[in-house]
Amino acid sequence: MKKLLLPSALGLSLLCPSLAVQALPSLTPEEAREIARDAYIYGYPLVLMQVTREVATNVAEPGGIRAPINQLTHARVFPDASYTDVVRPNADTLYSAMSYDVSREPLVIEVPDSAGRYYLMPMLDFWTDVFTSSGSRTTGNGAQTLAVVGPAWQGRLPAGVRMYRSPTASGVLIGRIQTNGKADYAAVHQFQDGMKTYPLSAYGKPYVAPKGTVNPQQDMTAPPLQLDRMSGEVFFSRFAELLKDNPPHANDNPILDRMQRIGLEVGKDFSYDAAPQVVRDALDAAPADALKQIKQAFRHSGVTANGWRTNLTAIGTYGTDYLRRAGVAYAGLGANPIEDAIYPTAFVDSEGRPLDGGQRYVLHFAKEQIPPVRAFWSLTMYDERQLFTENPIERFAIGDRDKLVFNPDGSLDIYIQRESPGKDKEDNWLPTPAKGQFSMNLRLYWPKGQALDGVTWLPPAVERVD
């Protein structure tokens, strides 16, 4: 398999039939298929972001985790087993999120003093690159006002308003607020309710956000699952349209040049039917070819130790590593930069066997292996869909804010199994799915330096209890 040459940003529109006819005679079917596969990987985050937006904004007013464009929505409770909007959700923080569009004017965001509560508010452009992350680690816990402006916006902001320039006119803000169990909801809600968003033209004036438009025909299935079943024709048609408003990054020229060989050209309309058969065949094959790599990229990227994989390279700023960018988008759209959080992931036990809901396991942390963090840590359970699943105690994650029972020597055992490990151990019990394979994420928020070098601290292996 040849090395993937995908660039990293936004920007391709598609097929100019006349160019395609000129370019294709020198292409073999194998070359066309390889280029189409790489183009799919390159465009996957962009199309996924659009589908996610369609699902997340298909409401008249904010509620749950959905809101109209440019309006914040606040998750008031942790996700449960019915939640399917985003894969690998967390049960550590309450989200405050927004899909934004600053093509017409900047958007102002007011954040109140968090009273020492840890939070972070990364913003992602439409290619899923994190271009800023405000919050406790970077801008502190005090009250602050910021403005998201478009890539070409020129103007003056009011005094005291911090500017963040979005590389694309559209993007998302995914705020996460430390929440110490359900008893902490009221305090977090108060912080959330102090947040405000409004267009710059409404600064200093009363403002009432408009109602959103609801499309009753909108597919509300989890976005990655929608892409899993999307044909090559539909994918590349959507990709082409998105590229018109989300131009490529400056370092994307190599992949753009390659894509021109199959008739994909920035700023041009796409016509699947007008493409030569060799191109149509390649585009048809691209989803299966690319998705296999994208899913494997997530499962096999990063540092491997004790059955855990941890991505310690930059997340949120991918350069031309398009396969890693697509893998992160597939596995957890909106993943934080490593300075804010790392996500060791386990699919296998200490012997390399897939984790299975029918087995029993123990995760033993020696005293010196307790995850080193400045904020907090947790361990989260996912089923084969990368989602939460029903369990007897409705517990989807466990961590240092729970009433964990430590051993006399300071070590910690977490019991991972479907049935109760016994009343005396239930404080440390993380239930598994009733059937099928599962995976787990450790989450270390604001990790200390020893967790970031891939050597000093490593998570222990998951041991199967036979």
CATH superfamily of 303-465: Domain of unknown function DUF1214, C-terminal domain (2.60.120.600)
**Tokens 């894969």 found at:** 87
Residue 374, amino acid? R
User: Using one digit for the tens of pLDDT, what is the confidence trace for 390-428?
Assistant: 999 999 999 999 999 999 999 999 999 999 999 999 999
Q: What is the mean pLDDT of residues 351-371?
A: 98
User: Using one digit for the tens of pLDDT, what is the confidence trace for 373-382?
Assistant: 999 999 999 9
**Among 77-81, 233-237, 333-337, 441-445, the least confident range:** 333-337
pLDDT for 17 beyond 70: no
Of residues 120, 188, 150, the one with CA closest to residue 337 = 120
Q: How high is the pLDDT of residue 342? A: 94
- Could you tell me the pLDDT band of residue 26, with boundaries at 50, 70 and 90? confident
- Could you tell me the pLDDT band of residue 25, with boundaries at 50, 70 and 90? very low
Of residues 263, 239, 294, 284, the one with CA closest to residue 127 = 239
Percent of the chain with pLDDT over 90: 82
Q: How high is the pLDDT of residue 6? A: 35
With contact defined as beta carbons under 8 Å apart, do 391 and 438 qualify? no
Q: Higher confidence at residue 296 or residue 437? A: 437
What CA–CA distance (Å, rounded) separates 271 from 297? 30
CA angle 128, 313, 65 (to 5 degrees): 35
Q: What is the mean pLDDT of residues 284-305?
A: 90
- Within the chain, all domains assigned CATH 1.10.3360 are found at 17-45+228-300
pLDDT for 111 beyond 50: yes
- CATH code that applies to domain 88-202: 2.60.40.1610
- Could you tell me the pLDDT band of residue 8, with boundaries at 50, 70 and 90? very low
Buried b (16+ CB within 10 A) or exposed e, 19-48: bbeebbeebeeebbbbbbbbbbbbbbbbbb
Which tokens in the block code for residue 404? 């964990």
- CATH code that applies to domain 17-45+228-300: 1.10.3360
User: Using one digit for the tens of pLDDT, what is the confidence trace for 216-242?
Assistant: 999 999 899 999 999 999 999 999 999
Q: How high is the pLDDT of residue 315? A: 80
User: Using one digit for the tens of pLDDT, what is the confidence trace for 131-150?
Assistant: 999 999 999 999 999 999 99
Q: How high is the pLDDT of residue 86? A: 72
For residue 323, CA distances in Å to 298, 300, 319, 368, 454 come to 9, 12, 11, 35, 21
**Tokens 């937006």 found at:** 53
**Average pLDDT of every residue of the chain:** 92
Q: What is the mean pLDDT of residues 85-96?
A: 87
- Within the chain, all domains assigned CATH 2.60.120.600 are found at 303-465
Buried b (16+ CB within 10 A) or exposed e, 299-316: eebbeebebbbbbbeebb
Which tokens in the block code for residue 27? 């292409």
